[in-house]
Amino acid sequence: MTNPFDSAGSKAPPKPFTVTEGRREVRSFVLRQGRFTPAQQRAFDERWPRFGIDFNGEPRDLDATFGRVAPKVLEIGFGNGAALRYAAQFDPSKDYIGIEVHAPGVGRLLNALADDGADHVKLYHHDAVEVLEKEIADGALDEIRIYFPDPWHKKRHNKRRLVQPAFAALLVRKLRPGGLLHCATDWADYAEQMWDVLDATEGLANRAGPRGSVPRPDWRPQTHFETRGQKLGHGVWDLLYDRA
């Protein structure tokens, strides 16, 4: 694979989305990283060819990417990578694809995967919507996981939330029949929106019943976002949806 980062020096990485002249997209994220540190640069220089997937904008043969036939699990917005790393250790019989736009977290996970020798994990540094639309074939995924997405808690920013009707329909297309969608949030208002959207999405069935949630499954570790939310008195909601 070609390393998308310029190894000549430590500087901000390329934008993890396609820029269309004269068009401004409403995205679910804002890039907050400042300068790209030398340590983060080294992670991409040394680890990306092994664990990274370059965004090419064309459908991808995931079995060929991993070199085997196995269930495919996609985690959207993996942050610092703790949950994805845990999942790969918890069940190595599955192949894992992680998507994250914030380069520091990608660099951290690249190093962790190298330490683990986890060749059943591949990473995108790109916008998840574009990856799903352009690179993931319909019905190619066995599971999709979205843990603690940005709640965009101010009402005027709610339109930036990732879980919206059009996005939910896209997820349904990418899941195989019998596949699983797992969302988790520690914001009650966002849990309500997830129920509003996902319970009404054709092709999804809430495993816990309408507006239901389940205890944290054993394949998801307690994250630092979750711990922080609990300290603030927030609840935590895990929502499981089966693809019809």
Is 238 labelled as part of a ligand binding site? no
Is 224 labelled as part of a ligand binding site? yes
Is 201 labelled as part of a ligand binding site? no
| Distance between CA atoms of residues 205 and 2, nearest Å | 40
Is 186 labelled as part of a ligand binding site? yes
Is 159 labelled as part of a ligand binding site? no
> Would you tell me how many other CB atoms lie within 10 Å of the CB of residue 37?
14
Sign of the CA dihedral 195, 243, 28, 91?
A: positive
**Helices marked H in 73-127 — which ranges?**
82-90, 103-116
What pairs with residue 121 in β-bridges?
A: 96
Residue type, 102: H
Comparing CA positions, the residue from 141, 146, 184, 145 lying closest to residue 162 is 146
Is 29 labelled as part of a ligand binding site? no
Is 54 labelled as part of a ligand binding site? no
Is 196 labelled as part of a ligand binding site? no
Active-site residue (options: 150, 189, 199, 242): 150
Comparing CA positions, the residue from 129, 126, 241 lying closest to residue 175 is 241
Residue type, 172: V
Is 6 labelled as part of a ligand binding site? no
| Catalytic status, residue 189 | no
| Distance between CA atoms of residues 243 and 62, nearest Å | 20
CA within 13 Å, CB half, 18: 11
Is 127 labelled as part of a ligand binding site? yes
Catalytic residues: 150
Binding residue numbers: 75, 100, 127, 150, 154, 186, 223-226
Binding residue numbers for S-adenosyl-L-methionine: 75, 100, 127, 150
Binding residue numbers for substrate: 154, 186, 223-226
